[in-house]
């Protein structure tokens, strides 16, 4: 979400004539987009902001701003803590960034807004910003109404608001016209898109409409909440040709007691049955998830339940976190807090177990043929091309031609921890030299 928001700010400012620089020392405007989902992320952002003080002393003409969820949470208090900051802007206010910058430049003092209305302006990028890009995020909703007991998101991103389907379709058509081949729809809880407005298409309806747009090779979405995963959405994986074979479905815990305390509104069995149903419709689907260890009151048995669950499901990948106390959340009041050392121990055990599962799943892909959307040269700079499989795994392979933006057939010859190595094959599965 923050990658997308930072990108949106860049695009708006470039459209207004600003230029991007790779060096902070050349910058006239420095905006730090912040995350507050865990304390560590917030701390990192605050440390980075603190470091701007000396730069601002040397070059007082710099405009510096704090954007995003830390800005939303702490508001104008940030001006007291960091007097050299000129701008504080919550995540819903980024679409008007140039107005706030203009106010500062015109000498009308510091600017701030933590307004929670969401009025995204849809803009085009006639300045070539999308040139050479193959994939794009597209935000279809903002905020969250779920109030999981550990989570600060509903407090800093506000109530769930969906973008009209027409705007999403128009923006998609525009992205495709600019050469984008793969669109990932994003939102805190994409599968509850438009549930409040019955006159608009639901999420599966939106996917259907997007799938029928000519020229879109791939469609993805992230993140889905298990409680809102409808039969219709599961069915989409078997019906829509552009919809990729991947779902990120955060489970958070394998223990019913903890799921209940987390206010997740599903049980472990319900989660397992959802996964079984998705796999029935799309057997090759990859499933990734998020999991928190050390939630207040999590016993050794609850933790065991999480370990067993990751064995049962065999996630392709798992993002796991130590529970972090967040302001305003219900979990703050819960008894049974675990100490840092125990949380770290559980995290290490879980991550080690998952590493083995991920590696074995990647190894199992050896010998299979995967369709890869080529994104460009690989990181190693050794002539390899890189792209992603439909299941969202990174695949690298050697090729003499530049296939950027094309779907190619790749035979997987080696599965590693974080990527796959393959070779280009033709439609008869013969190696292409
Ligand atoms: N909306 C998504 C969902 O329901 O799964 C996730 C959004 S949240 C920004 C991303 C992940 O951060 C969550 O899935 C959760 O695992 C983790 N997270 C959120 N609050 C946390 C906390 N207080 N401590 C540790 N991890 C947390
Ligand atoms: Fe946070 Fe839960 Fe909303 Fe996800 S669904 S953003 S974890 S409150």
8-37 average pLDDT score: 93
pLDDT at 394: 98
Take atom 2 of ligand 2 and give the residue whose Cα is closest: 148
Average pLDDT over the chain reads 95
Q: Give the pLDDT confidence of 53-72 residue by residue, as tens digits.
A: 999 999 999 999 999 999 99
Residue 88 contacts residue 65 (beta carbons within 8 Å): yes
263-286 average pLDDT score: 98
pLDDT at 117: 86
Take atom 5 of ligand 1 and give the residue whose Cα is closest: 250
Structure confidence at residue 124 as a pLDDT band (50, 70, 90): low
pLDDT over threshold 90, residue 232: yes
Mutate to test the pocket of ligand 1, among 4, 34, 36, 37 (most ligand atoms within 8 A of CB): 37
319-328 average pLDDT score: 98
Verify cis geometry, omega within 30 degrees of 0, for the bond prior to 223: yes
pLDDT over threshold 80, residue 350: yes
CA distance 275 to 263: 20
pLDDT over threshold 80, residue 12: yes
Structure confidence at residue 125 as a pLDDT band (50, 70, 90): low
CA distance 361 to 415: 8
> Considering only CA atoms, which of 369, 371, 363 is closest in space to residue 429?
369
Structure confidence at residue 331 as a pLDDT band (50, 70, 90): very high
Q: Count the neighbouring beta carbons within 10 Å of the beta carbon of residue 59.
A: 11
CB of 228 closer than 6 angstroms to any ligand 1 atom: no
Report CA(150)–ligand 1 centroid distance (Å): 8
Mutate to test the pocket of ligand 2, among 36, 144, 331 (most ligand atoms within 8 A of CB): 144
Name beta bridge partners: 286. 246
pLDDT at 382: 86
pLDDT over threshold 70, residue 126: no
CA distance 311 to 361: 12
Residue 320 contacts residue 251 (beta carbons within 8 Å): no
In the 8-state DSSP scheme, what is residue 432?
Answer: P
CB of 264 closer than 6 angstroms to any ligand 1 atom: no
pLDDT at 425: 97
Take atom 15 of ligand 1 and give the residue whose Cα is closest: 290
Q: How many residues does the chain have?
A: 433
pLDDT at 122: 66
- Ligand number nearest to the C-alpha of 319: 1
Name beta bridge partners: 135. 182
245-272 average pLDDT score: 98
Q: Give the pLDDT confidence of 380-389 residue by residue, as tens digits.
A: 888 899 999 9
Note the pTM of the prediction, 2 decimals: 0.96
Residue pointed to by tokens 């793969």: 182
């Amino acid at each position: 979400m923050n990658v997308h928001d930072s990108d949106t700010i860049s695009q708006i400012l470039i459209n207004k004539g600003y230029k991007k620089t790779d060096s902070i020392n050349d910058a006239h405007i420095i905006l730090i987009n912040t995350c507050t989902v865990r304390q560590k992320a917030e701390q990192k952002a605050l440390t980075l902001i603190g470091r701007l003080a000396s730069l601002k002393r040397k070059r007082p003409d710099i405009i510096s701003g704090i954007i995003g969820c830390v800005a939303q949470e702490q508001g104008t208090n940030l001006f007291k803590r960091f007097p050299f900051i000129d701008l504080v802007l919550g995540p819903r206010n980024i679409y008007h960034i140039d107005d706030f910058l203009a106010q500062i430049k015109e000498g009308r003092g510091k600017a701030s807004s933590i307004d929670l209305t969401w009025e995204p302006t849809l803009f085009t990028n006639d300045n070539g910003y999308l040139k050479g890009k193959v994939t794009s995020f597209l935000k279809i909703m903002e905020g969250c109404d779920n109030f999981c007991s550990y989570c600060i998101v509903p407090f800093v991103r506000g109530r769930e608001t969906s973008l009209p389907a027409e705007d999403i379709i128009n923006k998609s058509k525009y992205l495709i016209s600019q050469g984008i081949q793969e669109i990932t729809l994003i939102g805190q809880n994409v599968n509850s898109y438009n549930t409040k407005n019955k006159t608009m298409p639901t999420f599966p309806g939106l996917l259907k409409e997007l799938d029928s747009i000519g020229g879109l090779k791939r469609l993805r979405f992230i993140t889905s909440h298990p409680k809102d995963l409808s039969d219709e959405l599961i069915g989409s994986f078997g019906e829509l040709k552009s919809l990729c074979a991947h779902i990120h479905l955060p489970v958070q815990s394998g223990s019913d007691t903890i799921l209940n305390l987390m206010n997740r509104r599903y049980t472990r069995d319900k989660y397992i049955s959802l996964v079984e149903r998705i796999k029935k419709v799309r057997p090759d689907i990859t499933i990734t998830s998020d999991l928190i260890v050390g939630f207040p009151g999590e016993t050794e048995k609850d933790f065991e339940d999480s370990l067993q669950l990751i064995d049962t499901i065999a996630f392709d990948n798992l993002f796991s976190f130590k529970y972090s106390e967040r302001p305003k959340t219900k979990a703050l009041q819960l008894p049974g807090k675990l100490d840092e050392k125990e949380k770290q121990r559980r995290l290490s055990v879980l991550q080690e177990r998952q590493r083995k599962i991920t590696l074995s799943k990647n190894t199992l892909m050896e010998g299979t043929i995967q369709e890869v959307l080529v994104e460009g040269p690989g990181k190693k700079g050794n002539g390899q091309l890189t792209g992603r499989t439909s299941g969202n795994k990174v695949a690298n392979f050697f090729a003499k031609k530049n296939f950027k933006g094309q779907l190619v057939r790749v035979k997987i010859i080696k599965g590693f921890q974080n990527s796959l190595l393959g070779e280009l094959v033709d439609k008869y599965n013969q190696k292409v030299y």
